[in-house]
Amino acid sequence: FESLTKKSLFPQDYKGQKLAEQIFQGIILVSAVIGFIYGYITEQFGWTVYIVMAGFALSCLLTLPPWPMYRRNPLKWLPVQESGTEEKKAADRKPKRHAKS
Q: What does pLDDT average to in each consecutive run of 10 residues of the chain (101 residues)?
A: 51 87 97 97 96 97 90 83 64 64 59
pLDDT at 79: 86
CB atoms < 10 A from the CB of 51, how many? 20
pLDDT at 1: 39
pLDDT at 37: 97
Q: Is the pTM of the predicted complex or chain greater than 0.85?
A: no
Per residue, the 3-state secondary structure of the chain, as one string, reads CHHHHHHHHCCCCHHHHHHHHHHHHHHHHHHHHHHHHHHHHHCCHHHHHHHHHHHHHHHHHHHCCCCHHHCCCCCCCCCCCCCCHHHHHHHHCCCCCCCCC
pLDDT at 80: 85
